């Protein structure tokens, strides 16, 4: 390295490194992501366009406001409804055990509704910007307008709890009769690895699950949480009408299967955003360093390769449900969400789908996330996507036999490969042929 180059290197890199260390949280506000300054492209921005063009309208419906029409416009099933009664989110003064907040979701958009709320809260998966937040005024308007929101949502929706990127949250904690979280008794983030017994504190849960215990439907009376907590009245609850006025919502359920799918999906979404952002930032840094150091274009720093691999590995683990909490007895919902979710497909010629649910020992019959079909997955930078496809192939073809993936039997791996081959577009070529070595490895097991 010639001397002026070193000086230039220090001049360019030092502020970046410093800034990265001091306020890593909003690194996504700078090049190349430019989170708040960039124009979003997702289900909500497209819906707004259709409203603006007069191609469709949203009907306002009394106390439920735009909720029923919005769910319909976004193809979000009412069966996905989940009710959360902890005062842990934006409109906390509206939320209590008698007036829970309702959440709804499909593969690429989430909606939150509070009784007498000011706004509907929405988050949309955006292939470039990760997770984009909006509100929709609940009052009847001539032209309903989604407002893009950043700061006031990111306070909670971008932290170490969401991989440091704008993302989604699911928490479990003890809640008192007013809906206040009792944080001294602890709180945890929830995803598909969280044991069932620690899930759903602060949420209503409808569904049956045998003798497996959870913290749902529990309102703590008194000042302190006395362990072990007796939540026998909260188990295997099928109806909520004694606990709240369910007519105020679009469904009377807070479905256990919807909750389990949400918890899986949120983890995968956050890791997708993280892998996408990290890869783009690392590649951008490469370009700058190559220019500064007069390296040939396309020279890859070792740190870039490492960053792509490590966020890719974490994504692969989420996609393949590594460390998923085990079910010990069958789980069954009340709203019909499970049936609705599975019907969507796509199915292979044998009728199998990544959306087939097991619900006896684990969530999915074939543990590979259906989000592999999502725009967010296809929108990953090629470098990250290629790496993830390679790793998935290593594991599914049986080459990678590491302990981490031991939950995937030989049959599971084969079934997932077959389903992907039959249903996933743009699959890398090497998925199509089964090299002899692979067959041998599978047979040798
Ligand atoms: C005070 C913290 C806080 C703020 C501020 C906040 N949220 Fe949330 N949000 C949460 C928490 C915690 C959850 C998880 C469910 C719960 O506890 O209500 C959540 C859940 C959601 C969900 C369901 C998907 C998910 O992540 O689980 C949506 C949609 C959502 N918020 C939208 C918004 C929007 C839009 C804004 C800004 C206008 C916002 N939130 C501001 C804390 C917050």
CA 125 – ligand 1 centroid, Å: 14
Atom of ligand 1 nearest to the CA of 112: 29
| Model pLDDT, residue 21 | 34
- Band (pLDDT 50/70/90 cuts) for residue 444 is low
Between 13-17, 180-184, 245-249, 362-366, the lowest mean confidence (pLDDT) is in: 13-17
pLDDT tens, position by position, 245-262: 999 999 999 999 999 999
- Band (pLDDT 50/70/90 cuts) for residue 36 is very high
Q: What is the mean pLDDT of the chain?
A: 92
- Band (pLDDT 50/70/90 cuts) for residue 226 is confident
Inform me whether the pLDDT recorded for 15 exceeds 70.
no
The pair of three-digit structure tokens given for residue 398, joined into one six-digit string:
């049986």
| 123-126: long-range pairs with CB below 8 Å, 24+ | 123/153, 123/157, 123/168, 124/40, 124/42, 124/43, 124/44, 124/45, 125/42, 125/43, 125/269, 125/272, 125/374, 125/375, 125/376, 126/40, 126/41, 126/42, 126/45, 126/376
| Model pLDDT, residue 432 | 87
Atom of ligand 1 nearest to the CA of 121: 35
| Model pLDDT, residue 180 | 96
| Model pLDDT, residue 228 | 85
Between 101-105, 190-194, 294-298, the lowest mean confidence (pLDDT) is in: 294-298
Residue 98, Cβ neighbours under 10 Å: how many? 15
The answer to whether 184 touches 308, Cβ cutoff 8 Å, is no
CA 297 – ligand 1 centroid, Å: 42
| Model pLDDT, residue 437 | 56
Residue of 71, 89, 215, 265 to mutate, ligand 1, most atoms within 8 A of C-beta: 89
CA 434 – ligand 1 centroid, Å: 45
CA 155 – ligand 1 centroid, Å: 10
Inform me whether the pLDDT recorded for 9 exceeds 80.
no
How far the first Cα of the chain sits from its last, in Å, is 51
Inform me whether the pLDDT recorded for 390 exceeds 70.
yes
| Model pLDDT, residue 440 | 60
Residue of 107, 135, 169 to mutate, ligand 1, most atoms within 8 A of C-beta: 169
Inform me whether the pLDDT recorded for 151 exceeds 90.
no
Inform me whether the pLDDT recorded for 1 exceeds 60.
no
Note if the bond before 398 is cis, omega within 30 degrees: no
| Model pLDDT, residue 406 | 98
Residue of 36, 121, 129 to mutate, ligand 1, most atoms within 8 A of C-beta: 121
pLDDT tens, position by position, 336-380: 999 999 999 999 999 999 999 999 999 999 999 999 999 999 999
CA 264 – ligand 1 centroid, Å: 17
CA 384 – ligand 1 centroid, Å: 28
Interval 194-215 mean pLDDT: 98
Atom of ligand 1 nearest to the CA of 119: 38
Q: Whose CA is nearest to atom 4 of ligand 1?
A: 90
Q: Whose CA is nearest to atom 9 of ligand 1?
A: 89
CA 307 – ligand 1 centroid, Å: 28
CA 409 – ligand 1 centroid, Å: 37
CA 156 – ligand 1 centroid, Å: 7
pLDDT tens, position by position, 45-74: 999 999 999 999 999 999 999 999 999 999
Q: Whose CA is nearest to atom 1 of ligand 1?
A: 89
pLDDT tens, position by position, 202-211: 999 999 999 9
Interval 264-277 mean pLDDT: 98
Residues 6+ apart with CB under 8 A from 384: 275, 276, 278, 279, 308, 311, 312, 315
CA 121 – ligand 1 centroid, Å: 8
Determine the Cα–Cα distance for residues 441 and 11; give it in Å rounded to an integer: 52
Atom of ligand 1 nearest to the CA of 133: 35
| The dihedral sign for the CA sequence 424, 416, 127, 50 | positive
Q: Whose CA is nearest to atom 41 of ligand 1?
A: 153
Inform me whether the pLDDT recorded for 153 exceeds 90.
yes
| Model pLDDT, residue 438 | 56
Interval 407-435 mean pLDDT: 93
Determine the Cα–Cα distance for residues 117 and 322; give it in Å rounded to an integer: 38
CA 160 – ligand 1 centroid, Å: 15
Report the pocket of ligand 1 as residue ranges, CB < 6 Å: 84, 86, 88-90, 101, 103, 110, 112, 121-123, 133-135, 149, 152-153, 155-157, 168-171, 266
Atom of ligand 1 nearest to the CA of 110: 29
């Amino acid at each position: 390295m010639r001397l002026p180059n070193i000086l230039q290197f220090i001049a360019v890199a030092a502020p970046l490194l410093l800034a990265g260390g001091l306020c890593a949280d909003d690194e996504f506000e700078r090049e190349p992501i430019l989170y708040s300054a960039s124009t979003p492209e997702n289900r909500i921005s497209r819906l707004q366009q259709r409203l603006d063009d007069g191609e469709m309208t949203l009907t306002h419906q009394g106390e439920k406001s735009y909720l029923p029409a919005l769910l319909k416009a976004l193809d979000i099933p009412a069966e996905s409804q989940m009710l959360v009664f902890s005062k842990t989110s934006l409109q906390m003064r509206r939320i209590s055990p008698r007036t829970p907040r309702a959440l709804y979701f499909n593969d690429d958009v989430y909606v939150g509704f509070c009784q007498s709320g000011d706004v509907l809260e929405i988050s949309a998966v955006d292939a470039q910007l990760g997770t984009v937040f909006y509100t929709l005024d609940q009052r009847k308007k001539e032209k309903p307008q989604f407002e893009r929101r950043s700061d006031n949502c990111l306070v909670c929706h971008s932290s170490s709890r969401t991989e440091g990127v704008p993302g989604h949250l699911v928490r479990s904690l003890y809640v008192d009769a007013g809906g206040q979280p009792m944080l001294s008794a602890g709180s945890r983030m929830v995803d598909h690895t969280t044991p069932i017994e620690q899930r759903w504190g602060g949420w209503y849960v409808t569904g049956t699950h045998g003798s497996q215990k959870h913290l749902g439907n529990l309102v703590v009376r008194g000042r302190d949480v006395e362990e072990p907590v007796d939540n026998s009245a909260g188990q295997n609850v099928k109806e909520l009408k004694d606990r709240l006025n369910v007519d105020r919502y679009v469904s009377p359920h807070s479905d256990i299967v919807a909750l389990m799918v949400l918890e899986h999906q949120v983890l995968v979404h956050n890791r997708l955003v993280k892998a996408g952002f990290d890869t783009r930032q690392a590649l951008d840094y490469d370009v700058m360093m190559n220019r500064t150091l007069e390296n040939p274009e396309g020279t890859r720093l070792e740190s870039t390769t490492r960053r792509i691999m490590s966020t890719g590995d974490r994504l692969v683990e989420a996609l393949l449900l590594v460390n998923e909490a085990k079910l010990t007895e069958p789980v069954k919902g009340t709203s019909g969400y499970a049936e609705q979710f599975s019907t969507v497909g796509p199915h292979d010629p044998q009728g199998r789908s990544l959306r087939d649910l097991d619900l006896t020992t684990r969530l999915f019959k074939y543990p590979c996330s259906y989000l592999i079909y999502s725009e967010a997955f296809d929108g990953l930078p090629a470098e990250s996507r290629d790496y993830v496809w390679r790793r998935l192939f290593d594991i599914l073809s049986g080459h990678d036999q590491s302990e981490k993936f031991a939950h995937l039997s030989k049959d599971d791996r084969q079934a997932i490969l077959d389903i992907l081959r039959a249903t996933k577009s743009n699959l890398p070529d090497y998925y199509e042929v089964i090299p002899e070595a692979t067959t041998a490895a599978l047979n040798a097991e």
